[in-house]
Structure 1
Amino acid sequence: MKRAVIVKAKRTPIGKINGIFKGCQPHELAAPLLKHLAQGLEEKINDVILGNVVGPGGNIARLSALQAGLPVSVPGLTLDRQCSAGLEAIRMACYYIQGGAGTCYIAGGTESTSTSPYPSRSRFSPDQIGDPDMGVAAEYVAEKYRASRESQDEYALLTYERSWDAFEQGQLAEEICPIENFILDEEFYKKRKMEALIKRAKPIFKKDGTVTAANSCGIHDGASAVLVMEEEAARRHGLKPILRFADSEVAGVHPHYPGSAPVPAIQAILERNYLTIDDIDLIEINEAFASKIVACSSELSISYEKLNVNGGALTIGHPYGASGAIMVTRLFYEIQRRKSAKYVLAAIGSGGGIGVALLFEVAD
């Protein structure tokens, strides 16, 4: 079987809705990434696969590829699996390579909430099942998995401090491809007194609930993508494999509990590969809500020591379709700072109750 490896990874800075990227369309966010990742390989790229959730519709991957100046022979595919879309794009590219469909893909996601033409979200579930907003669903997860307000707030503060530590140490700068002279995430323009904000925050989705603005992610713009290649082809082109695709899983759960969807996906991967959670050195699970992280870490017995070690969406933001690729980009750079890692994993839960998880080996 052909082996798929990730050899390059980048993301844009992440901007708040109507913030630094308020006038940027999703293809304008993605194009600089595609140009950077394709450099020297423009004629070798079989396809560009991008996730996108909130529009404006059309084939944004094709539009982004043309905007980036890639050859017109590079087609482009846009997909929507809600917040899992960016991770699904990478998953798809890896399987295309394994199956022999091609040897070189750019995969990831792009999202512009600021320019979205849609006034409200799409439907995740039919009325007979129930279609809760994501914040309400985060409350359902907190209740089902007994994620207390205290545990959510503790995690929110931990990940905020981790994000700032990573930023101040220059680690996040490695991930970023500048866009229009913007070189850092908008959140890092000003440090907040997070501990005080967490204590003051009130429940926003349910009276006497536990989910607050301080332990939930915001609404953001941004893009991220990786260069996925067949391993021998990458080596022939002088590119060093960093992450080698090992396995993946997609799982469905009740639409009321989307935050728990990574649990069965991760469990299936571990079982199929005769691994335990202790065998995984680094794990990224998207931080849409702290309740999700508390629930998943508890159910899977994941130590916070190896979970979202440089912070995540609760601080820098969650540009829906891009977030899965942002997590893989984070793993790409973090394992290069560590010499002993063998396995890493990225997982995300999304609207409608879908979980996607990808397992990677650290390449030799």
Structure 2
Amino acid sequence: MNTLADNPVIIEALRTPIGTTGGVFADQTTTDLAAPVLGELDARLPTGTGFGEVVLGNVRGPGGDPARVAALAAGIDPAVPALTLDRQCGSGMAAIEYAWHRCRSQPGVVAAGGVQAASTQPITLWPGRDGEPPSSFDRAPFAPPPWLDPDMGVMADRLAAELHISRERQDRYALRSHTRASTARDAGDFDAEIVPIARVRRDQRPRSGFTMARLARFPAAFRPGGTVTAANSCGINDAAAAVTMVDAATHAHLATPGLRVLAARTVGYDPDRFGLGLVPAVRAALDDAGLGLDQIDALEFNEAFAAQVLACADALDLDEHRLCPRGGAISLGHPWGASGAILLVRLFSRLVREGAGRYGLAAISIGGGQGSAVVVEAVHPRGN
């Protein structure tokens, strides 16, 4: 019978800087972003080990299995297979969940993460009908009728209204995210987890000059009279992130610290209120791990919108100040296919590189009514 100690372990975790769409990575493809991360993970593998598979999340990108193309560009052995997954903004975490199941079922080493190059994403068109010209493909449908399938911002605004999450509280959360991220960036706190791309070494988006007065001047972004604005929402971004995961038996022979993945769960939820999708996923993952939120030392939730992440914190009876102590997606950015993997990179830095606790939790809500959560435990060669 397997125990939690038999679960796979993340032994390395890296990411690119996060760029704003049309910004520092305006010309970078999924391969340009993901290959350097995979190559650096490959270079850091313990002697005598090699990847058995590469799996990356990507949302509506260039096609052609971006994970395979990036792995080949990184110089990884062509004999190593690769897979690209699309679970919308949960894709990067889905890749890590896939790696977890694979490492539980067979020994080996897997590179898992995600990539999004929104700046160079191909333009997609619906074919014209009855002599009409093609029309632009603005966004993918997340749910069919009779679901309302609201836009993400509209959904967040509705949650804020339903749950009485004020504009001031949203702005204060956004200000805290930017302050935390810009402070951490300027102090070099992210440096150890970043692989430079095209001479870019720092995250582009965090703003140190925001104040509550400045945030209050932003208009409602998604519906008249709403409280969700461009400033208390995430951005559209470019980045890649990935981890190296090994099965428990392999890790037992390696003198390296890491994060044991105690639980990885994805659940379905109401497609019209998908911003709350991480809530049941968190509960399920914590139940699998036999832990409570009060035992978690490091919490990283994807901040799609201040209203959305605050709604999730309230539903879990969780102090919002515990979330993302060095900023989250509102300040750092939300590169869809990579965001779930970035959360795990942040946990690796906090719990392994910095030794700031034992247990960590990462979670993300997903368009279409899903949520994913991963619970980890810091382990050391002479520890647990």
TM-score by length of 1: 0.95
For residue 253 of structure 2, what is the aligned residue in structure 1?
A: 236
Alignment of 1:128-147 (within 5 A): 128-147=146-165
Match of 2:364, SS? strand
Distance of 2:149 and 2:111 partners within structure 1: 33
Distance of 2:28 and 2:249 partners within structure 1: 37
The yes-or-no answer on 1:53 pairing with 2:71 is: no
Q: CA deviation at 1:267?
A: 1.4
Identify which of 345, 348, 353 aligns with 2:361: 345
Distance of 2:257 and 2:12 partners within structure 1: 8
Distance of 1:34 and 1:75 partners within structure 2: 14
The yes-or-no answer on 1:328 pairing with 2:369 is: no
Match of 1:29, SS? helix
Identify which of 215, 218, 227 aligns with 1:201: 218
Identify which of 137, 153, 161 aligns with 2:171: 153
Match of 2:340, SS? helix
The yes-or-no answer on 1:303 pairing with 2:319 is: yes
Q: Which region of structure 1 is more displaced relative to structure 2, 303-312 or 41-50? A: 41-50
Give the residue type in structure 2 aligned to 1:103.
G
Alpha carbons of structure 1 residues 162 and 40: separation in structure 2 relative to 1, 3 Å: closer
Asked if the contact 1:231–1:241 (Cα under 8 Å) also holds between the matched residues in 2, the reply is no
Identify which of 89, 95, 118 aligns with 1:113: 118
Identify which of 317, 321, 342 aligns with 2:333: 317
Q: CA deviation at 1:193?
A: 2.9
The yes-or-no answer on 1:279 pairing with 2:295 is: yes
Distance of 1:227 and 1:347 partners within structure 2: 19
Give the residue type in structure 2 aligned to 1:137.
M
Q: CA deviation at 1:51?
A: 0.2
Give the residue type in structure 1 aligned to 2:357.
A
Give the structure with higher Rg (CA): 2
Distance of 1:45 and 1:124 partners within structure 2: 34
Give the residue type in structure 1 aligned to 2:70.
S
Match of 2:55, SS? strand
For residue 15 of structure 2, what is the aligned residue in structure 1?
A: 11
Q: CA deviation at 1:40?
A: 5.6
Asked if the contact 2:165–2:311 (Cα under 8 Å) also holds between the matched residues in 1, the reply is yes
TM-score by length of 2: 0.90
Q: CA deviation at 1:96?
A: 0.7
Give the residue type in structure 1 aligned to 2:85.
L
Match of 1:352, SS? coil
For residue 163 of structure 1, what is the aligned residue in structure 2?
A: 181
Q: CA deviation at 1:199?
A: 1.1
Asked if the contact 1:282–1:344 (Cα under 8 Å) also holds between the matched residues in 2, the reply is yes
Give the residue type in structure 2 aligned to 1:185.
D
Identify which of 245, 261, 265 aligns with 2:261: 245
Asked if the contact 2:22–2:119 (Cα under 8 Å) also holds between the matched residues in 1, the reply is yes
Tell me the alpha carbon deviations over residues 270-294 of structure 1, each in whole angstroms, 9 at most, x when there is no partner.
Answer: 2344322111111111011001111
Match of 2:272, SS? coil
Asked if the contact 2:185–2:203 (Cα under 8 Å) also holds between the matched residues in 1, the reply is no
Q: Which region of structure 1 is more displaced relative to structure 2, 141-150 or 283-292? A: 141-150
Tell me the alpha carbon deviations over residues 296-343 of structure 1, each in whole angstroms, 9 at most, x when there is no partner.
Answer: 111112223431111011011100000011010011011136546221
For residue 143 of structure 2, what is the aligned residue in structure 1?
A: 125
For residue 213 of structure 1, what is the aligned residue in structure 2?
A: 230
Asked if the contact 2:221–2:228 (Cα under 8 Å) also holds between the matched residues in 1, the reply is yes
* Alignment size in residue pairs: 361
Identify which of 18, 22, 26 aligns with 1:22: 26
Distance of 2:352 and 2:251 partners within structure 1: 18
Alpha carbons of structure 1 residues 29 and 253: separation in structure 2 relative to 1, 3 Å: same
Distance of 1:336 and 1:345 partners within structure 2: 14
Distance of 2:217 and 2:356 partners within structure 1: 41
For residue 92 of structure 2, what is the aligned residue in structure 1?
A: 86
Match of 2:304, SS? coil
